[in-house]
Amino acid sequence: MSKQFNPTPEMILAAELVFVCMAAVELIKPIVRGYQTKILAEKQWPINDKYAARFGKEIILDPERSYLLGEQNMADYFALCNKARIQAKLHVESEDKCPLCVAEYQLVQAKWALCTAMAPVTNISAERITGQSMENYNRYIELTLKLLGQFVRPVAKLMQHFGFDANGQKQPQLPATS
């Protein structure tokens, strides 16, 4: 005898939020990586001297390695990235935040909420699954999303429902006018 799976509204909402956050990351990532890469290519900043013995005296061209910049170059890099973010019309709540980092953090939070919502069915807590290898954790998320995928609304409707625009940006809530 097979049992029909009936997810709770909380489970469906958690899965929808993961899908929306995944879409937001995929929309924002090429924009942010684009201007970060362009800035690094134009400036040709070398690796910080204190890391040169370990990593070699190279020019930092990959945004994933920007943490190796010297203090002043790092400050200049962040300032130029912020200027490029503004030109790209990417919103962040604080000038010192990267829109891609914010989107990736929202995805981490959404996945945690999904694990928590599914715990009564899977008997696996969010703490337990996040403590596993990244491979196991990612597989768990993938299988959970496949299970719940048939119950979620289309991504375009979800983006609108959760207040994201077509660029994957969370839209600021405007005060109600009377």
Tokens representing 102 are 């914010």
The answer to whether 152 touches 10, Cβ cutoff 8 Å, is: no
Write down the pLDDT at residue 3: 74
Which range of 84-88, 152-156, 167-171 scores highest in mean pLDDT? It is 84-88
Partner residues linked to 35 by β-bridges: none
Write down the pLDDT at residue 148: 96
pLDDT at residue 175 above 60? no
pLDDT at residue 178 above 70? no
Question: What is the pTM assigned to this prediction?
Answer: 0.83
* Cα–Cα nearest to 84, from 33, 46, 24: 33
Write down the pLDDT at residue 161: 78
Partner residues linked to 164 by β-bridges: 170
The answer to whether 51 touches 67, Cβ cutoff 8 Å, is: no
The answer to whether 169 touches 91, Cβ cutoff 8 Å, is: yes
Alpha-carbon gap, residue 132 to 147, rounded angstroms: 20
Residues 6+ apart with CB under 8 A from 95: 82
Number of residues that make up the chain = 178
Average pLDDT in the 34-57 region? 94
